[in-house]
Every structure is written in C-alpha cells, then in structure tokens.
C-alpha cells in the first residue's frame, strides 16, 4: 500500500511536534517535522492513481527538503517548512483563512488530483 498524506496530517504535525520537543529538551534529542508538501520521492512519483501534476504547485525536489530538514534539526527547530510557496501557504492558513476555509481550499485542490476511489464520501 502506498501512502498518501492529507490535510489532517499537516494539521496534526504542528500540534504534536512542539510538545514532543519540550519533553525531549532535557535530553540530547532533537525532533523536527518537515512540512514540505508533495516531494519527488517514490511515494509520490511511483503512484499511478494520483495525478500530482494537477496541483497548482510543482513537486518539491528532494535535496532542498532534506537540506531544510537537516538545518532545522541542527537548530533544534520543531517545524520546518521548505520552499517559499509552502511558507506563503502556511502563513495564509494561519493568518488569513479560517480553518474551514483552509480545509475547503485544500480539499478542492486534492479532489483535482485524487481519483474517486481515494476520496472520502460524505455521510448521507
């Protein structure tokens, strides 16, 4: 089974990483969560059922994502968002859009890329 990541994952990670980091502070353990969006890895590029080319932003290249993650790890930064467009979208999601507007926008974008078999059907 190949993974597909959702808006739920991106909303969960920022709420889990800082508490995990604060619990790990007395130890030499650094924790970093990288919120890169779709990245050119086999988990994305090998999929034949999802058309990531239909998303408004290109796939992230692996090297900049890894570099940003390692830099964040070295600085003990709990959350790293590589790429200017991802940073803009994060800012908009936190400062401009309501949670329901953000969920609706990402749902619309993901519906363009995902086939019907992967879509969650609304309850009747």
Per-residue pLDDT reduced to its tens digit, 65-111:
999 999 998 888 888 999 998 898 888 888 898 888 888 888 888 88
Q: Say how far apart CA 110 and CA 11 lie, in whole Å.
A: 15
**pLDDT value for 124:** 66
**What local confidence, expressed as pLDDT, does residue 61 receive?**
93
Q: Does some domain include residue 123?
A: no
17-45 pLDDT, tens digit each: 556 556 555 667 777 888 888 889 888 88
Domain-located, residue 16 = yes
Query: Is 122 among the domain residues?
Result: no
Question: Does residue 12 register a pLDDT over 80?
Answer: no
| Reported pTM | 0.67
In a domain, 17, yes or no: yes
Q: Is 100 exposed, middle or buried (0-12, 13-18, 19+ CB in 10 A)?
A: exposed
Looking at per-residue pLDDT, the higher value among 2 and 37 belongs to: 37
- DSSP annotation of 25 reads T
Q: Inform me whether the pLDDT recorded for 120 exceeds 70.
A: yes
- Cα–Cα distance, 14 to 17 (Å, whole number): 6
Domain of 93? Answer: 7-112
Q: Please give the tally of structural domains in the chain.
A: 1
Give a yes or no: residue 48 inside a domain.
yes
Residue 9 predicted with pLDDT over 80: no
> Could you tell me if residue 100 is inside a domain?
yes
Structure-derived torsion over alpha carbons of residues 46, 50, 55, 57, reported in degrees to the nearest 10: -10
**Is residue 13 very low, low, confident or very high in pLDDT (cuts 50, 70, 90)?**
low
Q: For residue 44, is it within any domain?
A: yes
User: With 60 as the cut, is the pLDDT of residue 8 above it?
Assistant: no
Within-domain flag for 79: yes
């Amino acid at each position: 089974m190949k993974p597909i990541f959702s808006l739920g994952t991106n909303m969960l990670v920022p709420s889990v990483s800082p508490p995990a980091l604060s619990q790990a502070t007395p130890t030499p353990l650094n924790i970093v969560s990288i919120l890169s969006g779709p990245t050119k890895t086999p988990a994305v590029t090998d999929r034949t059922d999802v058309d990531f080319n239909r998303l408004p932003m290109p796939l992230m290249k692996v090297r900049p994502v890894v570099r940003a993650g390692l830099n964040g790890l070295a600085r003990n930064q709990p959350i790293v968002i590589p790429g200017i467009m991802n940073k803009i979208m994060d800012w908009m999601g936190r400062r401009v859009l309501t949670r329901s507007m953000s969920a609706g926008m990402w749902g619309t974008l993901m519906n363009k890329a995902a086939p019907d078999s992967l879509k969650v059907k609304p309850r009747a």
